[in-house]
Every structure is written in structure tokens, then in C-alpha cells.
RNA sequence: GCUGACGUGGCUCAAUGGUAGAGCAAGUGAUUUGUAAUCACUAGGUUGGAGGUUCGAUUCCUCUCGUCAGCUCCA
């Protein structure tokens, strides 16, 4: 039976089991379903589950009621989940009779393994099979006891997914659903999703007039005045922080001859994703930069560097263009034109550790300011695909790991996921829909210094190869702002709010005093606007609240006569009248901050 | 790029083969207001674009562009 405080492990079993029930229900949708619906895999995922299958026609959300009906029927019958072990031959025969080619492929995969190594759930001499009622599936389990436990579920969405995640193979239909042990938990989860959708940055971006997109330039952002303010303000703060930390800021071209991209290796790997410029013969000869590093290599190389110059740090917020595939574009999170708080730090091998410490210090300054929780993926060397000296790699990876530990950063290791030219740290933040969004990245690079033949002069006068650290703290400002919008649900902290105060009059009679208040605040570099329209005060407040303005200053007869303002704060509501001095004192520290 | 869904005034949505409608926003006028929407009037759409079927298309079909959910990719 369902548990009151279900363990994560129980919920996984529950969701996995619900996926089986759903697969059965989809089979019921089609005549001869067991033979025409080809099942692939159906695992539980965080909070949800899915099942991938090949079906005679695409499933749409319109099919959900019918699928759910069949699911409920099986749940109501409360049949048990029962495990059996079949021999490979028996399983092959059974699934072949039912035309379940994906399952046959899975069985082959299992039989190829050394089964004596007792892979979990895989029997020594065969495969694990689960039945629930009339439904039979190849599955290592585990499952719950009876279908009746899966009462609290809902189908959510449908999409395509490639068999085995390979875009060269069959594309299947994936149906997502969610399942919980109680009705309340299900409701809570669905409500959370609705709440999250309300803070979707695309929706808020439109409502708060921060930015817009147009089909005339898909994937590139039109920043409206308020959004542009946030963008520029943020970029300015980051720029200042980098200058304080010893970075040299540069500005570099957008367009480069293809030879540069050949040198850097991008031509070979990423030509398809670059915006190219053709000559008269239609041959691409130039490209818009998708990243800044080659430009910075040229700058480094333009003079001889002593070990005394290192670390040499170049910061660049240049405009980048990446011709992302159409299907991947998404709001501000995945765009074709972007700027990063990009930097390249040229260091000696001995300086790697300290430089990483310093970079993580920047993280704490910036992410701490926004109170953003992040975690880190540490991608290590792929044994089959790496360049450079294995000793250097090992040392570098040890350094990165110890830096993560020293700074008590929550990280997971992705073995073999590093690029061939160096190990990397990717910093992830959760967006409002609980999706991981990658922002920052810190990557060690042994390759570009080779390709560009970079050197520095060591104390003994010999020429040595520096190491390059690619780093961005915010990552793309576009994506970072998307995340901030959702993190704050549009209610930016005072220092980042495009409008910090609205002075609003009770009636036209008080415009003079209201203007005086406005001018006084303007002198303090407060971003303040005056609402002297004919609307009633309630309407003005509503308007300002919808725009998430931090402070509303209400000016009527009392305020004018006493030379005060009545303050309504975004967070606390009406906080009463105060003198102008006490208000300016109150906001003095909020108006502006540095990282 | 792939699969699917969607695209109607600035925004949110209605109209299912028969002259496209509402609310909000906008404009004008009235009102001069005390903490989340004052009232009235006016204007605004060849229904993303192109082709087709039909006496007639927002509605059906094809192509195309864009958006969204995912998948693949992500220097």
C-alpha cells in the first residue's frame, strides 16, 4: 500500500510501475496493440516518468483521456506486479512473436554482458520479466506490489525521442507523466508546475517589457529599455569586478578570416554552427566569431611574455554569434547572439590552482549577491579522446577536485565528459521549471596554446608553454538574466530594478510637491518616475505592483502639508508616512551595490 | 536538424465551412480621487505567409516561417 512518507526509492518504483501501466494503456489504444505498439524503455525520472515507444500514429495530448481511462481500469483492478526469470531463448521467442524489436535489441545487449557479474536485476541465466495483469515487459524492476498504488498520476506531455539517444536511429514517441503516493502530493506537484510557469522568463519578459523577439531575427534578442538597463547594469558591475581583480578588458572584432578558425580548430568541428560570410564565388572566407578565445590568443601572441607577466588575464564582453539549430532556440536561454563575461587567463602550470581559487572567489561574490544556489559538474578526461600529456591532465584534475573540495562546492564527477583539450567545471543553476541551466564554465585548455604556439619566458630564460583557462562567471548574460527573472519572479532587487520608485499623486493638486520629491530622489541617482495621471491611487498602485516596482511613494494632502511621503514597499506593503530624510536614509544602501 | 502541438487586433482568449467577437491595453472626453482596476465613447484584425479544395476557408489539404514541449547538439 502507499506509504505516508514515501522514500525516494519507493517513489521511483511507483513511477516506474506507472510507466508500465501507461505502456499497457497505449497498447489498448490500437487494434492488435501488443504487436503494433513497439515498446522501448520507460524509466522513472525526477518527479516523473516516461515511456518511449513506436506507435502506428503520433500520440497527442488529445489521446491522454483515453490512455488515462485504460490506466485507471488497470489500477482499479489492483493486480500484482510479478517477476519471472525467462531464458534468453524464451524471451527472444516471446518478444519476436510480438514484433518487439527494441526489446529484442535490449535482450541482446543483456546477453552480451558478462551475466555472471550479476548486473542488478539481471538473472544469472536469463532476463527479468515483469507482469501486471495482461501486460508483460522486459524489466529489471523493481516495482511496487499492486497496480492500485498508482492511483495518483497524471500524463503531462508528449514528445519525440531517439531510440538509444541516437539521432541516426528511429525516432520514438515519448509520453511523460507524473505519479505520487498521495493525492495531496500530486496536487502539490501540479500546482508547483503552474506557479513555475507564471515566472517563466518569456512571459515575464513580455509583461514587464524587458525584451522581445521577432521572426525577422530568430534567436536574437531585442532588449527594450527596462531589459537593456538590467543588461547594461549587470555587465557594468561585472566589468568593474573583473578590473578590480586584475583582468585587462579588451574589445575585439566580430568578423575573422577563416584561417583563424582553421588554426583554432573550430572550422573543423563547428563550421556548421557558425555564421559564415561568402565571397563572390560562394566560398566561405570569413565568419562571425562564436567565441572570443582565438582573438585573445592573437593578443597574447602579439608580444613576448615573461613568467613575471603571468597570470595574464583578458576579459571581453564581445558579441558572439552561434548558428544554433532551429529546434534548440528557447527564449533567452538558447539564443543565436549573445555576450558572455568571458575571460582567458594565461597561466603557468604552477599557477593553475591559485588561479582557480581566485576564479571561485568571483563566483562567491556574484552568485552570493543573488543568493543563487548552484552546483557543479566536473568533467574529466576521456581516456580515448584527449590531447596532451597524461601527467599534466592528472595533475590538473587533482587540482580542480581539491579546489572544489576546499571551497565546499557541491559537485558531481562526469567521467570522460571533458573536451579533448582539457577538463572542465560547468556550473548549473535550477530554473523555475526545475531544469538545470548551465551558466558558468571554467575550462582548462592545453590545446589552444599549442595551436597558436604560445610561449612565455621562464626564469631560466627558456621558452615555456602557458596553459589557458577559459572562464565565464555569469556565462551568457542573456541566459543569466533569464535565470534572474525566474529566480526573482520579476521582482529584481532594488539595485537592479529598472525603476526603483514610483512617486504617485492622489490628485493633480499635489503634482508640484510630487515633482519636488522626484527631483530630490533623482539627485541621489535613484531611478524614479512620476505617475501623475488621472487614475485613482488604487489603480496607480496596481500598475506599479504589476511592474514589480520596489517602492511606491504616495503623495497627497497630508504628505504635502507635512513634507513627508507615504511609503508602500513591494515586499512589506504600506509602511506608513516618513520624512523625506528618513526615506532616503532607508534606501541609501539599497540603491546601488558592487559585487 | 528530428517528432509532435500551436499561430485570430499590443496582450489574454472566443468564433468549426456561411458577412471575425470580448476583456485588458491604446486614443478622446468626463472625473480630481488615500493603498491592487472610475465611467463613457472611439479606433484597431484581408485570422503568421504562399498555394490549393470549395459557390464560399479563421475553419479542410499542401508547402513555408515562427513559437512551444522534448530529442540530438551545445566550442
Q: Name which of A460, A584, A565 is nearest A515 in CA terms.
A: A565
Mean pLDDT across the stretch A148-165?
A: 95
Asked if the structure places residue A325 within a domain, the reply is no
For B1, which residue's CA is nearest its C1'?
A325
* The domain boundary residue, chosen from A423, A451, A479: A479
Nucleotide nearest to A289 (CA to C1'): B75
Same domain, A499 and A453: no
pLDDT of residue A120: 47
Same domain, A380 and A439: yes
Percent of chain A with pLDDT over 70: 97
Work out the pLDDT band at A383, boundaries 50, 70, 90. Answer: confident
CATH number, residue A526: 3.40.50.800
**A484-507 pLDDT tens trace:** 999 999 999 999 999 999 999 999
Contact yes or no for A450/A265 (Cβ under 8 A): no
pLDDT of residue A384: 81
For B71, which residue's CA is nearest its C1'?
A161
DSSP A231-250: HHHHHHHHHHHHHHTTPEE-
Percent of chain A with pLDDT over 90: 80
**A329-361 pLDDT tens trace:** 999 999 999 999 999 999 999 999 999 999 999
Contact yes or no for A88/A111 (Cβ under 8 A): yes
**Residue A390 CB: number of other CB atoms within 10 A?**
10
Nucleotide nearest to A543 (CA to C1'): B36
CA of A507 to C1' of B35 (A): 14
Same domain, A473 and A583: no
Q: Name which of A427, A437, A432 is nearest A472 in CA terms.
A: A427
Same domain, A309 and A398: yes
**A450-483 pLDDT tens trace:** 999 999 999 999 999 999 999 999 999 999 999 9
pLDDT of residue A122: 53
Residues in CB range of A86: below 8 A, 6 or more apart: A94, A126, A127, A129
Same domain, A143 and A53: yes
Cell numbers representing residue A71 in the block: 490506466
CA of A209 to C1' of B25 (A): 13
CA of A285 to C1' of B34 (A): 67
CA of A29 to C1' of B5 (A): 20
Kind of pairing between the strands at A528-531 and A501-505: parallel
CATH number, residue A129: 3.30.980.10
DSSP A400-442: HHHHHHHTT--EEEETT-SBTTB-EEEEEEE-TTS-EEEEEEE
pLDDT of residue A286: 94
Same domain, A246 and A106: no
pLDDT of residue A7: 92
CA of A438 to C1' of B19 (A): 54
pLDDT of residue A116: 47
Nucleotide nearest to A533 (CA to C1'): B32
Asked if the structure places residue A305 within a domain, the reply is yes
Mean pLDDT across the stretch A429-445?
A: 82
Asked if the structure places residue A43 within a domain, the reply is yes
Catalytic site residues of A?
A: 293, 322, 340, 342, 344, 424, 470
Average pLDDT, chain A: 92
Nucleotide nearest to A203 (CA to C1'): B11
Is residue A395 predicted with pLDDT exceeding 90?
no
For B10, which residue's CA is nearest its C1'?
A206
Q: Name which of A153, A145, A160, A156 is nearest A15 in CA terms.
A: A153
Asked if the structure places residue A279 within a domain, the reply is no
CA of A214 to C1' of B57 (A): 28
Same domain, A473 and A563: no
Asked if the structure places residue A556 within a domain, the reply is yes
Same domain, A467 and A503: no
Same domain, A110 and A234: no
CA of A500 to C1' of B24 (A): 25
Mean pLDDT across the stretch A6-27?
A: 95
Q: In what order do the strands lie in the sheet containing A528-531? A: A528-531, A501-505, A551-555, A564-569, A573-579
CA of A32 to C1' of B15 (A): 40
Mean pLDDT across the stretch A553-566?
A: 97
Exposure string of A284-306, with b = 16+ CB inside 10 Å and e = fewer, is eebbbbbbbbbbbbebbeeeebe
DSSP A104-143: HHHHHHHHHS-GGG--TT--TTSEEEEEETTEEEE-----
* The domain boundary residue, chosen from A428, A444, A479: A479
Is residue A311 predicted with pLDDT exceeding 80?
yes
pLDDT of residue A417: 85
Print the domain residue range for A234. 223-252+289-317+341-479
Same domain, A471 and A505: no
Cell numbers representing residue A573 in the block: 506593503
Same domain, A541 and A409: no
Work out the pLDDT band at A117, boundaries 50, 70, 90. Answer: very low
Please tell me whether the interface predicted TM-score (ipTM) of this complex is above 0.90. yes
Q: What are phi and psi of A484, to 5 degrees?
A: -65, -40
Cα–Cα–Cα angle for A178, A181, A184, rounded to 5 degrees: 85
**A236-270 pLDDT tens trace:** 999 999 999 999 999 999 999 999 999 999 998 89
Q: Which of A115-119, A197-201, A252-256 has the lowest mean pLDDT?
A: A115-119
Nucleotide nearest to A558 (CA to C1'): B34
Work out the pLDDT band at A119, boundaries 50, 70, 90. Answer: very low
* Strand B positions closer than 7 A to protein CB: 1-5, 11-12, 30-38, 65-75
Asked if the structure places residue A96 within a domain, the reply is yes
Cell numbers representing residue A494 in the block: 532594488
CATH number, residue A446: 3.30.930.10
Cα–Cα–Cα angle for A131, A164, A127, rounded to 5 degrees: 35
Asked if the structure places residue A281 within a domain, the reply is no
Distance of CA A405 to the CA centre of its chain: 23
Nucleotide nearest to A168 (CA to C1'): B72
Q: What CA–CA distance (Å, rounded) separates A462 from A243? A: 31
Mean pLDDT across the stretch A82-96?
A: 93
Contact yes or no for A148/A12 (Cβ under 8 A): no
Same domain, A63 and A91: yes
* The domain boundary residue, chosen from A479, A513, A538: A479
* Number of separate domains in chain A: 3
Asked if the structure places residue A271 within a domain, the reply is no
Amino acid at each position: 500500500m502507499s506509504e505516508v512518507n514515501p522514500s525516494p526509492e519507493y517513489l521511483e518504483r511507483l513511477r516506474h510501475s506507472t510507466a508500465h501501466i501507461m505502456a499497457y494503456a497505449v497498447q489498448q489504444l490500437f487494434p492488435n496493440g501488443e504487436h503494433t505498439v513497439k515498446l522501448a524503455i520507460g524509466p522513472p525520472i525526477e518527479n516523473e516518468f516516461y515511456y518511449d515507444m513506436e506507435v502506428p500514429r503520433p500520440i497527442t495530448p488529445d489521446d491522454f483521456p483515453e490512455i488515462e481511462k485504460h490506466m485507471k481500469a488497470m489500477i482499479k483492478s489492483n493486480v500484482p506486479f510479478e517477476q519471472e526469470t525467462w531464458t534468453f531463448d524464451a524471451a527472444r521467442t516471446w518478444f519476436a512473436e510480438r514484433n518487439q524489436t527494441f526489446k529484442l535489441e535490449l535482450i541482446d545487449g543483456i546477453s552480451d554482458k558478462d551475466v555472471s557479474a550479476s548486473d542488478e536485476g539481471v538473472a544469472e541465466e536469463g532476463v527479468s520479466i515483469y507482469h501486471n495483469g495482461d501486460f508483460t515487459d522486459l524489466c529489471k524492476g523493481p516495482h511496487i506490489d499492486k497496480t492500485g498504488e498508482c492511483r495518483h498520476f497524471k500524463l503531462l506531455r508528449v514528445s519525440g525521442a531517439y531510440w538509444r539517444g541516437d539521432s541516426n536511429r528511429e525516432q520514438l514517441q515519448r509520453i511523460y507523466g507524473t505519479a505520487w503516493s498521495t493525492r495531496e502530493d500530486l496536487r502539490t506537484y501540479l500546482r508547483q508546475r503552474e506557479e513555475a510557469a507564471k515566472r517563466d522568463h518569456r512571459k515575464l519578459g513580455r509583461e514587464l517589457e524587458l525584451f522581445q523577439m521577432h521572426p525577422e531575427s530568430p534567436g536574437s534578442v531585442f532588449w527594450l529599455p527596462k531589459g537593456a538597463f538590467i543588461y547594461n547594469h549587470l555587465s557594468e558591475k561585472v566589468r568593474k569586478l573583473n578590473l578590480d581583480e586584475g583582468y585587462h578588458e579588451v574589445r575585439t572584432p566580430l568578423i575573422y578570416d577563416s584561417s583563424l578558425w582553421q588554426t583554432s580548430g573550430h572550422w573543423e568541428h563547428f563550421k556548421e554552427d557558425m555564421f559564415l560570410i561568402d565571397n563572390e564565388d560562394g566560398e566561405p572566407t570569413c565568419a562571425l566569431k562564436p567565441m572570443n578565445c582565438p582573438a585573445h590568443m592573437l593578443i597574447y601572441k602579439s608580444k613576448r611574455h615573461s613568467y613575471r607577466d603571468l597570470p595574464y588575464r583578458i576579459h571581453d564582453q564581445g558579441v558572439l554569434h552561434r548558428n544554433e539549430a532551429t529546434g534548440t532556440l528557447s527564449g533567452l536561454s538558447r539564443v543565436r547572439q549573445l555576450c558572455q563575461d568571458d575571460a582567458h587567463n594565461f597561466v603557468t602550470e604552477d599557477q593553475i590552482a591559485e588561479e582557480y581559487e581566485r576564479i571561485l572567489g568571483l563566483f562567491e561574490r556574484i552568485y552570493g549577491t543573488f543568493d543563487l544556489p548552484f552546483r557543479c559538474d566536473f568533467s574529466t578526461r576521456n581516456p580515448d579522446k584527449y590531447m596532451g600529456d597524461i601527467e599534466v591532465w592528472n595533475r590538473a584534475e587533482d587540482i580542480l577536485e581539491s579546489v572544489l573540495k576546499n571551497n565546499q562546492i557541491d559537485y558531481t564527477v562526469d567521467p570522460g565528459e571533458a573536451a579533448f583539450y582539457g577538463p572542465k567545471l560547468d556550473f548549473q543553476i535550477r530554473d523555475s521549471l526545475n531544469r538545470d541551466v548551465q551558466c558558468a564554465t571554467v575550462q582548462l585548455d592545453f590545446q589552444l596554446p599549442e595551436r597558436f604556439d604560445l610561449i612565455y619566458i621562464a626564469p631560466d630564460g627558456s621558452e615555456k608553454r602557458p596553459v589557458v583557462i577559459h572562464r565565464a562567471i555569469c556565462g551568457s548574460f542573456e541566459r543569466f538574466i533569464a535565470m534572474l527573472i525566474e529566480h526573482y519572479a520579476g521582482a529584481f532587487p532594488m539595485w537592479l530594478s529598472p525603476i526603483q520608485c514610483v512617486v504617485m499623486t492622489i490628485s493633480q493638486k499635489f503634482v508640484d510637491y510630487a515633482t519636488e520629491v522626484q527631483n530630490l530622489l533623482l539627485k541621489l541617482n535613484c531611478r524614479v518616475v512620476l505617475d501623475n495621471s488621472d487614475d485613482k491611487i488604487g489603480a496607480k498602485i496596481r500598475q506599479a505592483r504589476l511592474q514589480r516596482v520596489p517602492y511606491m511613494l504616495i503623495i497627497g494632502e497630508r504628505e504635502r502639508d507635512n513634507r513627508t511621503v507615504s511609503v508602500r514597499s513591494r515586499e512589506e506593503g504600506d509602511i506608513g508616512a516618513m520624512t523625506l530624510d528618513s526615506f532616503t536614509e532607508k534606501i541609501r544602501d539599497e540603491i546601488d551595490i558592487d559585487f
